[in-house]
Amino acid sequence: MAIYNSGNQPSDGYDTHTHLNDDTFWHDVPAYEARAREFRIVEMNIVGYDAESNERAIQLAREFTDMHAIIGWQPEDISEINDERLAVYRQQLQDDNVIGVGETGLDYYWDDNPSAASQKQAFRQQLALAHEFKLPVTVHTRSAMNDTYDLLKEAHVEEFGGVMHSFTGTPAEAKQFLDLGMYISFSGIATFKNAKDVQETVKSIPLDRLLVETDAPYLAPTPMRGKPNEPMYVHYIIAHIAELLGKTYNEVAEITTENARRLWHLDQQTNED
């Protein structure tokens, strides 16, 4: 595998989904950011999943120029949504440091998660706001692929865009979401030896829709499995995908960074500056 070699000059990488707003990192965010920069991971999306983590994501995006906030409620935390929090959320979505909605979606895997009906309601609420503010949506789906597709299609996601986060579906399932205009992001799962099906899906994705992420502190990639994940480890994912695709590290880093900046309209900000 063409693992990142600090003796070569790597291209800039972009971790499109990380949780430096999590308690795991909160005590020392600057250190984790510095380590990522050592590996030329120069941009990252800080993704919220409940009210507190949304606040923290915005705070980090204000403090660090290489961090951007994506805010929302993941399926297991939707019980805290109420009218007051939705009013605050609507205001937060208009903050210049917020570039997207999420993570949101459907997760039917755990029996103790909120009901499917409740999850669909919360997902629809957030999709409606993404549509209103033209913010790309970061989608979490687990054991709910068909319903997730149906709600994205219903919401006309092609009008505001989005990404399937830490995708583990088949090439056929990926194509359904690609046909809606979605991007597909791969986490450390794509580096696991037993994830051959996911690796086949990686190879099926058009290069201009491919993204990478750590989902830190979860899903540390090979060879760091079993350790807390962090943004700098996205270089292992880039390297592994490069090997799968017969590309160089720099080619995949450049492609995925360009894709991320296009999806979240950061290329427009650069041009305007």
How are beta strands 137-142 and 98-107 bridged, if at all?
parallel
Q: Which two tokens stand for residue 22?
A: 């999590």
CB 8 within 8 A of CB 247: no
- Residue 273 annotated in ligand binding: no
- Residue 103 annotated in ligand binding: yes
Q: Which two tokens stand for residue 76?
A: 């297991």
- Residue 17 annotated in ligand binding: yes
- State residue 165 phi and psi, 5-degree precision: -85, 140
What's the chain look like in SS3?
Answer: CCCCCCCCCCCCEEEEEECCCCHHHHCCHHHHHHHHHHCCEEEEEEECCCHHHHHHHHHHHHHCCCEEEEECCCHHHHHHCCHHHHHHHHHHCCCCCEEEEEEEEEECCCCCCCCHHHHHHHHHHHHHHHHHHCCCEEEEEECCHHHHHHHHHHCCHHHCCEEECCCCCCHHHHHHHHHCCCEEEECHHHHCCCCHHHHHHHHHCCHHHEEECCCCCCCCCCCCCCCCCCHHHHHHHHHHHHHHHCCCHHHHHHHHHHHHHHHCCHHHHHHHC
- Residue 265 annotated in ligand binding: no
Q: Which residues pair with 183 in a beta bridge?
A: 163
Distances (CA, A) of 35 to 26, 102, 217: 15, 25, 14
- Residue 165 annotated in ligand binding: yes
- Residue 240 annotated in ligand binding: no
Which residue type does 139 have?
Answer: V
Q: Which residues are annotated as a binding site?
A: 17, 19, 103, 140, 165, 215
Q: Which residues are annotated as a binding site for a divalent metal cation?
A: 17, 19, 103, 140, 165, 215
